[in-house]
Structure 1
Amino acid sequence: MDFADVLRARRMVRSYRPDAVPEDVLRRIVQVVHRAPSAGFSQGHRLIVVTDPELRGKIAELTEAPYVESGMKPWISVAPVLIAVGVREESYHERYRQPDKVTDEGDEGNWPVPFWWFDSGSLLVMLQLAAANEGLATGFFGPHADGLEELIGLPKDVGLSGFLTLGYSDDNARGVTASLTHRPKRIPLEDLVTWR
């Protein structure tokens, strides 16, 4: 697929067919974790791929109700794959304490931005693009329910950015759903990009 086509195919989807995603396709998608940015090549990304129907159901029980109550169809419980996107902050600190990274003062320096979270967002977009390249759709929901980390077995030293939903879209109309009819219009490029 041409990259421009991949970019056009990347969109947030809240309607999936229950069809399973082949394991080889999933492996191609998640292996972008090796190409995702990580400050100083810290490699702090962590993914948990959830395909087990029972575990997906338990995650949906904790997270889906607010969406359904707002008028959306169930989508977290229908998506055949949920990918927990996590980040291990300590990987960044460990990397920046290495001899090639320490400052002249002998420490790791300060972090003007928590780059582990920044990099986590970059990984999310790469996963979305890899999925689009495979003809799959994605969505995202945040870690807004207690108990998710324990439920999925996330290590204690890994922060949860959220979950990518992944599967074959059941929404081929590409129209705006009723719940999104009042969303803002696209901001003009000139208001988003400054040239100097």
Structure 2
Amino acid sequence: MEWSEILERRRMVRSYLPDPVPDETVRRIVATVRRAPSAGFSQGHRLVVVTEPETRRELARLAGEEEYVAAGGRPWISTAPVHVVVGVREESYHERYRKPDKLRDGEEIGWPAPYWYVDAGSLFLLLQLAAIDEGLASGLYGVVPEQVPELKALVGLPEDVHFVCVVTVGVPAPGRDESGLVSRLTQQRLPLDELVRWERWE
């Protein structure tokens, strides 16, 4: 598959067929976690794969799917056959950067940004691309902060693993979701010159 085709197919899908995804396919997709970027090779990514229908329904409830459907959307979260809960263990980064080869003047570096979240975003994109490579589609959802403890308890995320998002994977339903709730259908792409500057921001 050409890069331009992959890029064209990279979008958030909110409509899936109920067909299960073979275990070996899911394993190939989530195995990208071992190749995902992580600062200093900290390897702080943590995933939980959910395929059990009742747990998927509970995840959909926590994500507010009922409100989404009441507003005119389709129940895409509960129908997606695979949910990959993406978490990250921040302490893995600190542990790595406290090792002798990473210390600066005997101390851990200052972090200009929370790179554990930067890396989690990179992992999400790799999961999306891996799904495309398997002929599947993916989407992403989160939950409001007050629902995070219940979500973590539901899937057994350890206390020291931060919840980031959930990636849905499955066979896309025929046709596109033309609902007015889909942002890419209601928002314009910004021109490149508004997003990219050359040499200096002027």
Q: TM-score range by the shorter chain?
A: over 0.9
Partners of 1:25 and 1:185 lie apart in 2 by 35
**Structure 1 residue 65, shift from structure 2 partner:** 2.1
User: After superposition, what is the alpha-carbon deviation per residue over 1:44-83, rounded to whole angstroms, capped at 9, x for unaligned?
Assistant: 0000000111211221222222322322110111000000
- In the alignment, does 2:3 pair up with 1:3? yes
**Structure 1 residue 2, shift from structure 2 partner:** 2.1
The corresponding residue for 1:19 is 19
Matched letter for residue 78 of structure 2? S
The corresponding residue for 1:45 is 45
- In the alignment, does 2:146 pair up with 1:159? no
Instruction: Tell me the secondary structure at the aligned position of residue 119 of structure 1.
Output: helix
Partners of 2:139 and 2:67 lie apart in 1 by 15
- In the alignment, does 2:198 pair up with 1:195? yes
- In the alignment, does 2:188 pair up with 1:185? yes
Instruction: Tell me the secondary structure at the aligned position of residue 139 of structure 1.
Output: strand
Residue pair 2:42, 2:93 contacting (<8 A) in 1 also: yes
**Structure 1 residue 3, shift from structure 2 partner:** 2.4
The percent identity for this pair of structures is 54
User: After superposition, what is the alpha-carbon deviation per residue over 1:28-48, rounded to whole angstroms, capped at 9, x for unaligned?
Assistant: 111111111111110000000
Residue pair 1:143, 1:160 contacting (<8 A) in 2 also: no
Residue pair 2:88, 2:161 contacting (<8 A) in 1 also: yes
The corresponding residue for 2:103 is 102
Residue pair 2:96, 2:102 contacting (<8 A) in 1 also: yes
**Structure 1 residue 174, shift from structure 2 partner:** 3.8
Task: Report the aligned-residue RMSD.
Answer: 1.5
Q: Which residues of structure 1 form unaligned runs of 5+?
A: none
Deviates more, 1:51-60 or 1:16-25: 51-60
Instruction: Tell me the secondary structure at the aligned position of residue 112 of structure 1.
Output: coil
Q: Which residues of structure 2 form unaligned runs of 5+?
A: none
Matched letter for residue 191 of structure 2? P
Instruction: Tell me the secondary structure at the aligned position of residue 101 of structure 2.
Output: coil
Residue pair 1:143, 1:161 contacting (<8 A) in 2 also: no
TM-score (norm 1): 0.93
- In the alignment, does 2:135 pair up with 1:135? yes
User: After superposition, what is the alpha-carbon deviation per residue over 1:141-178, rounded to whole angstroms, capped at 9, x for unaligned?
Assistant: 113224000000001110000101110101x4346433
Partners of 2:179 and 2:73 lie apart in 1 by 9
- In the alignment, does 2:124 pair up with 1:124? yes
The corresponding residue for 1:90 is 91
Partners of 1:185 and 1:68 lie apart in 2 by 24
User: After superposition, what is the alpha-carbon deviation per residue over 1:78-104, rounded to whole angstroms, capped at 9, x for unaligned?
Assistant: 000000000000000000001110112
Larger helix percent: 2
